[in-house]
Structure 1
Amino acid sequence: MSDDTTIFAAGLTRRFGTVCAVHEAGLNVRRGEIFGLVGPDGAGKTTMMRMLAGVLPPDAGRIIIAGVDVVADPERAKEKLSYMPQRFGLYEDLTVAENIFFYAEMFGVPRALRLRREAELLAAADLSAFRQRLAGQLSGGMKQKLGLVCALIHTPEILLLDEPTTGVDPVSRRDFWAILYNLRESGVTTLLSTAYMDEAERCSRLALMVTGEIRRCDTPARLKQAMPGMLLAVTADDPRAAKAALEGAPGVLGLLLMGDRVHVRVDDAARRVPELQARFSAHGGSGVSILPIRPSIEDVFVALETEP
């Protein structure tokens, strides 16, 4: 564990009855990183977050948060971090300002500091004009931004966010990420889980989680370079029919329908492009274009998810 490590986990395992939600997972997150945890529903992301936050004890493994052993002393670790679950505990019958006051009091933030932090955070979240509005009357995106303001009111070193922008409109997502970038500049470490692959691209590093295990961990650029196989984009008049025609073709490692085209992962692009063109011709396909492309994080994740 290096000196700039703020989140360290090794061998984390958690079972619920006969189901192993997280199996021997480990992370090493550096100070000031925006670290992303990506995986499908049921991959174990929320269980992982809850263990890191000290609200769910692991069955096995070790967690160090800002130098504090979370398993041995979870209450002390909570002083160093802020955890925003998928459904953050806002009080809808309280105003924006009253919700902030509640969380500031809970963390013992002095009044002068609270007022200064409140003004700064509301301005950053574009919520200053809504200070006296009931939280229950805010839009979904505004509620998420208010949740982030409440999570930051005590100036934590580490921020844990469990899919914070799910169901949030694009403008609010943009504002949310602007806040995260500003936090990074001030040295705050953020670990977030996300279902949005465009958000995954924005992270410093990513951990790809499948069935409770961390499959890969690296920068988005290096993960793309490490994707097994080569990627082709097949554009056709009927992309679904094109995908069906490619299933079972020699050298095809994976298929992913992406809007009006199909992403095809092959073992050797130079060899397979002529073969695929011939396959389309044999199936009576016309107007088909096949071009090599660079993979996206979604392509990488789908490829790694299907690895044995």
Structure 2
Amino acid sequence: MKNLNKTTVQEFILAGLSEKTNLNLFLFVVFLLVYIVTILGNVSIIIAYIHSPNLHTPMYFLLANFSFLEICYVSDTCPKLLSNSLTDHKSISFYGCVSQMYCGWLFAGAEFYILATMAYDRYSAICRPLLYNMIMNKVSCIKLIGVSWAIGALNSAIHTSLTFTLPFCGNQVNHYYCDIPPLFKIACVDTKANEITLFILSGCVTLSSFTLTLVSYVKIISTILKIKTVTGRRKAFSTCTSHLMSVSVFYGSIISVYLKPKSKNYTEQDKVASVLYTVIAPLLNPFIYSIRNKEMKGALQKLLYGVKKL
């Protein structure tokens, strides 16, 4: 039975990642460096795409949009995490919490479908090469990106509105940012209906985008195995490895938090998993897509050389 002493919440107090001052100072330095590298890395990919005519293809157009999304995603949580690491009063206003949650779920939902769109792009290039330019033309790419953002926005609006119409009995949030599961813990009413809604909608978004990605890769692998030469198979598959790495990191960490059996407390393991998809995944994106991609690596090297000359 939940405590029914409802309070009017003006602000929420975030637990953060640690209560130890020395550790918080260390985490501040680490996450500040991570945030700077993440922003610079993803901005570099966008600039490289804009200034390199040879990258003006659907694959790199989607990658540039994905990098922009990663910048938005990490900027939703990291700045507040950094500021709260330097103070004992780790607060966020009520509407700041609403905004942070809405944006976080918006970016996460959009990322699922942009990853699925990138998988579909690779399917079209490998399995239907003669029709590729017609299937993945500029208008199609823009529509697919728009649909991804629209689904993310709708999913986020539903979850955010359902969460913040709940009455709260306190304002202590056991997390480093505003998210749904820890806010359920301080609600004055039974949240079982909300939890079921969260599970169903999150499951639909995750599984539908994952199914689209999986089907694309089943067909890609089937087509690659039919290529007679080892060199041809390796070249075809090399265009997919970076995307597969991004999918593995993002889906793995998300599923470990939201699509698991309910526990009584939001655990430290949940916080670590959240760091993986809100901070670490956006950091890895520039490295994943530049180290194994000769065209992007060449464009980034030219960009770096141009900066050095200035």
Q: TM-score range by the shorter chain?
A: under 0.3
Greater share of residues in strand: 1
Task: Give TM-score scaled by structure 1 length.
Answer: 0.24
Q: Relative contact order (alpha carbons < 8 A, sep ≥ 6): 1 or 2 greater?
A: 2
Higher helix share: 2
Larger radius of gyration: 1
